[in-house]
Amino acid sequence: HDERPRSDSHLLVPLIDLQGFLSGDPVASLEASRVVRDACRKHGFFLVSNHGVDCRLISDAHHCMDRFFGLTLSEKQRAQRKLWESHGYTSSFTGRFHSKLPWKETLSFRYSAEEGSSKVVEDYLVDAMGDQFKQSGGIYQEYCDAMSTLSLSIMELLGISLGVGRNCFRDFFEGNDSIMRLNYYPPCQKPDMTLGTGPHCDPTSLTILHQDQVGGLEVLVDDKWHLVLPHVNTFVVNIGDTFMALSNGIYKSCLHRAVVNSTRTRKSLAFFLCPSKEKLVRPPKELMETGREYPDFTWPMLLEFTQKHYRADMNTLQAFSS
Ligand code: AKG
């Protein structure tokens, strides 16, 4: 699906103003759940504004990325990701990897909303990078806390929109064990020859992405790539495979990718909501009246399958379920 040329159209992703929903306004909530339902049945992508996340925190999180990715390679490699781990630093530019790897550097870490894990992000960064990353660690800890809170509110909205009640999915993701990824895409002299992030569906449950103003996120809808234009102080939200299974296939997890450009570095912050490890992914019974699309599984089972068998031209969730 990564045929050239790059997309010249953009996707009309609905923008949901969350203010009314978050303050409990029933009319605004009904309208928001209707818009979410339409978008999630079609492609699983929508935007949220007035989400309650401090814009200062978002800009601090972007500045900390400049700080980390501006280090020398050997400094960044102190956090080098190990094979089969989802956490740590990766780079397409170290020469150790295959040239087909995407054109980017990433730093990923685990976030836990469980009691007693209130400093897991901060501790990880200080452990990997030393005390000079204490401040960045604190900022990413706060950012992930805000993402976890926002994703639980969005879970309420998804529950309402699917007619299973406000708390159904919210309760399921309390104590979530999630992943945060910082994506850093340097300019590329031949942007048409590569991709920043290759085409994939997120295996996780819900992604909350903040992209800077450069733009480059694309979604495949009706066999065509469409740009998702950046909006200030707005998050891109999308359904992942785990939530697609939880909704018994009613809500879609959709292929997306990121392209690069020849002049500007692009950055994005992706928070991937995941259930805690032992939770059984099984749709609520109201959504299974006409049968089941997928067997029960736990998130680590799907993660392991995706890491071992991922192919851009394959529907991972379907392959995992068959
Ligand atoms: C990912 O990190 O999985 C993405 O899809 C990133 C998309 C982007 O950078 O816009």
Residue ranges, the chain, pLDDT below 50: 1-5, 97, 99
Q: Which of 10, 104, 179, 183 to mutate to test the pocket of ligand 1 (most atoms within 8 A of CB)?
A: 183
pTM, full prediction: 0.95
CA distance 62 to 147: 15
The per-residue pLDDT for range 244-267, each reduced to its tens digit, is 999 999 999 999 999 999 999 999
CA distance 256 to 139: 28
Is the complex ipTM higher than 0.95? yes
Closest-lying ligand 1 atom to the alpha carbon of residue 236: 10
CA distance 322 to 319: 5
Helix (H) or strand (E) holding 74: helix 73-76
Distance 168 CA to ligand 1 centre (A): 28
CA distance 320 to 159: 25
Return the SS3 of 23.
coil
Q: Which of 103, 108, 197 to mutate to test the pocket of ligand 1 (most atoms within 8 A of CB)?
A: 197
CA distance 251 to 184: 29
CA distance 243 to 234: 22
Q: What is the pLDDT of residue 95?
A: 58
Q: What is the pLDDT of residue 101?
A: 64
CA distance 310 to 322: 15
Helix (H) or strand (E) holding 1: none
Q: What is the pLDDT of residue 65?
A: 98
Q: What is the pLDDT of residue 2?
A: 45
C-beta pairs of 36-39 under 8 Å, 24+ apart in sequence: 36/157, 36/158, 36/161, 37/161, 37/162, 38/14, 39/13, 39/14
Beta strands of the chain (E only): which ranges? 15-17, 45-49, 88-91, 105-112, 177-185, 197-200, 206-211, 217-221, 224-227, 235-239, 256-258, 266-273
Closest-lying ligand 1 atom to the alpha carbon of residue 183: 9
Neighbours of 290 (CB within 10 A): 7
Helix (H) or strand (E) holding 146: helix 134-161
CA distance 174 to 8: 40
Q: What is the pLDDT of residue 4?
A: 44
Q: For the residues of 180-216, what is the DSSP string, one character each?
A: EEEEEE---S-GGG--SEEEE--SSSEEEEEE-TT--
CB–CB of 51/16 below 8 Å?
no
Residue whose CA is at the smallest distance from ligand 1 atom 2 = 270
Helix (H) or strand (E) holding 238: strand 235-239
Q: Ligand 1 pocket: which residues have CB below 6 Å?
A: 181, 183, 197, 202, 209, 211, 216-217, 256, 258, 268, 270
Token output for 116: 């007693």
Residue whose CA is at the smallest distance from ligand 1 atom 9 = 268
CA atoms within 13 A on the CB side of 251: 31
Closest-lying ligand 1 atom to the alpha carbon of residue 228: 10
Q: What is the pLDDT of residue 7?
A: 67
Active site residues: 266
The per-residue pLDDT for range 7-26, each reduced to its tens digit, is 677 877 999 999 999 999 99
Q: What is the pLDDT of residue 41?
A: 97
